[in-house]
Amino acid sequence: MNFADDFSKTFYDKEEFLEFLDGIECGAEWQKHPTNTVLVIAGEEEPEICEKIKDMDEKEEIIKDTMKNSGLFLCLGSTYYPVGQTTMKSIESRARIAGSALLDLPKGKLARVLNDCLNVTKGNALVRIHEGKVRAVHGGDPSDYSVLPMPELFEVASIYVAENYDKATFSNGLFSHSLAMASWELEEKGLLDTYRELLLQYGLQADNVLSALIRVQTSDVGVSGANIYYSLLLGAEKRPLILGKPLKLEHTNNASIEDFSQNMGQIFARYQEAIGDLSKLFHVYASYPANVMASVMIKAGISKALTAQTVEQFKAGHGPGICNGYDIYCGICEAIFLAQSNGMIAKALTDLEEMVSRCLTYRFHEYDIPGTILY
């Protein structure tokens, strides 16, 4: 059932994860076609299209899954392919249209709108096909989209971690048709002592159980660059403390695996720099910390429901009174732990992490205002 649009699989063995990615890539292909020759077909209007799909394993099930989701097929040259749901955002982008109203159109009308726009779009389309379906339609010119093969990218990350960190453990990997990610947990003294020493400067003791986390995430369908996230995991419950914005490498402008490897080489310096930046929070004080939390979380784009849950938990634990910026930020990071506990999906968690890291860029004192919190 790897073909299903909602397919996802979690791995706890690194080699199994890498072998799985190799298998996906071996059966995948990238095709380049003039954009104005790409034809979108609605299955409900032309049911005979199903007979034109080339024979392959699980063909009937693939077509059923397509009809249940995108309901569309693509003609590339003289060959017809089912369209996976992950294709929709990229093909709309390639057709230079966007808007939530597109989701409400009948499939036949949507196909006609896409075809009209694709027909007047210059340049090439780079099409990703794997597991029996088209998964993305990118711009096909050199500066538009750079292919960064997943097996190679994660192999580079794995080798770098193994060669540079003695106490590194593969935490988990995940693959879906939208994205893939892998995490390593580090018990690296040089990294962790920087944080311990920071807390000691302000009379605090770090948790006895403490580790760092590196997560690498990428996508072939345009939902993510080849990004590296870094954080600390506090206590036996491994509550995340996000240290800043991820190291990002977009799939554009001839980006390469070498560029990604250079970003991996910056991880230690980024950890040190980010932990140093946390020290500034100890010099920020708020008389109304719950108000500060609520305001910056909502400004960062975090949902009102999750903001309310996070702030109420903070109020229950800290009560009224002055707090420093570090305590406030640790409280904001609890949103990730709560979201994980609530079963939030991987992509949404990644987006949430970036929103949390965005909170570090706001001036907390500007939101230290009395009054009732309105979520």
Q: What is the pLDDT of residue 319?
A: 77
Interval 8-21 mean pLDDT: 97
Given pLDDT bands bounded at 50, 70 and 90, which one contains residue 356? Answer: very high
Give every strand in the sheet of 239-242, ordered side by side.
Answer: 8-11, 168-176, 180-186, 210-218, 227-234, 239-242
* Average pLDDT score over the chain: 94
28, 115, 246 from 279: Cα distances, Å: 47, 55, 19
Say if residues 176 and 8 touch (Cβ distance below 8 Å): yes
Each residue's pLDDT tens digit, 235-279: 999 999 999 899 999 999 899 999 999 999 999 999 989 998 899
pLDDT tops 90 at residue 22 = yes
What's the pTM?
0.92
Calculate mean pLDDT across residues 307-328: 92
pLDDT at residue 159 tops 80 = yes
Tell me: pLDDT of 334 over 90: yes
Contact assessment for residue 155 and residue 170, using Cβ atoms and an 8 Å cutoff: no
- For residue 225, give every residue at least 6 positions away whose Cβ sits within 8 Å of its Cβ, in sequence order, or none: 218, 219, 248, 249, 250, 251, 255
CA dist., res. 71 & res. 213, Å (int) = 40
pLDDT of residue 91: 97
Q: What token pair was written down for 282?
A: 């100890």
Residue 68 has pLDDT above 80, yes or no: yes
**Residue 297: both structure tokens together:** 């979380």
Model pLDDT for residues 162-188, shown as the tens digit of each residue = 999 989 999 999 999 999 999 999 998
Mean pLDDT, rounded, for 285-298: 96
- What is the three-class DSSP state of 9? strand
Contacts 24+ apart (CB under 8 A), 273-279: 273/244, 274/230, 274/243, 274/244, 275/194, 275/195, 275/198, 275/243, 276/194, 276/198, 277/244, 277/360, 278/195, 278/198, 278/243, 278/326, 278/329, 279/198, 279/201
Confidence band, pLDDT 50/70/90 cuts, at residue 16? very high
